[in-house]
Each structure stands twice: as C-alpha cells, then as structure tokens.
Amino acid sequence: MTEDSAHYPPVDPVSSGLKGRCPRCGQGNLFDGFIKVKPACSNCALDYGFADSGDGPVVFVILIVGFLVVGSALWMEVNVNPPLWVHFILWIPLATILTLGIMRMLKGVLINLQFRNNARSGEIDRG
C-alpha cells in the first residue's frame, strides 16, 4: 500500500526531532516515556516500526559531553586546582544531566532524519 504524503506539509527534521515530534506530521509525540519510541503517531498514525536509531545518538552524546566535561575539568584543574571532591561534585552530575538531556534530542533528530531520507537497514543485492 502506498501512502500519499502530500497530505502533510514538509517538516523540518531537526526542529521536530529536538521537540520529540512525529517526522511526518510534526504534531504527534515520538516518545512514550523518556527515550522509548511509541509504536505509532497519535496524530497521523505513522507506524514507527522503521525507527531504529541504534547507537548513533550515544556516539554523539559521548563525543559532545566528553569534550565539554573533560575539557572543563582539565581547565579547572590547571587554573584553579581545587580538591578532588570539588571535581566529583561538579562534573559527575553535570555529565549525567547533559547526557540525559542531549540523548533524547539526538535520538529524535536521528529518527526524523531516517524518515526524511527514507533510510533503511543495509541490504546486500544478490541479483
């Protein structure tokens, strides 16, 4: 069955992904809970079976949060030289909060980009 996507205006995958919205209509919620993807859109009934972001968001989160937290911790150690307990109090909660906040947004963006670019699992053409 072919679906007519002309009923839905084009949705910006980055803005709808950051907001956790449906990649087709931009209105329905993408997530059921914190990072669990819903089975379908509540607004346009798009099946989210295609949505498999895998480890993609995790890689970006590690790179972004690691750069920010480790760079800031090193800067603080060199310039301020605080005791070790200050590092624990500052950087562990900051890394946790940034990781959880960025994870949901990046997962939404990657799922929206999958839909926009019609990305599928890799296939080998044996023909």
Query: What pLDDT does residue 55 have?
Result: 86
DSSP assignments along 37-61, one per residue:
BPSB-TTT--BGGG---TTHHHHHH
Note whether residue 101 is domain-resident: yes
> Does residue 127 fall inside a structural domain?
no
Residue 55 domain flag? yes
| Residue in 27, 8, 31, 3 with CA at minimum distance from that of residue 111 | 31
Confidence of residue 1 (pLDDT cuts 50, 70, 90): very low
The verdict on residue 46 lying in a domain is yes
User: CA–CA separation, 120 vs 109, rounded Å?
Assistant: 16
Average pLDDT along the chain: 89
Range of the domain at 36: 5-116
The residue among 72, 78, 66 whose CA lies nearest residue 90 is 72
Side chain identity at 28, as an amino acid letter? G
**Domains of the chain: total:** 1
Tell me which of 15-19, 20-24, 95-99, 121-125 is least confident.
Answer: 121-125
Of the two residues 121 and 26, the one the predictor is more confident about is 26
Q: Comparing 18-22, 71-75, 117-121, which segment has the lowest mean pLDDT?
A: 117-121
The residue type of 3 is E
Q: Kindly state whether residue 42 falls inside one of the protein's structural domains.
A: yes
Domain presence at residue 125: no
Alpha helices in the chain (DSSP H): 13-19, 56-79, 84-116
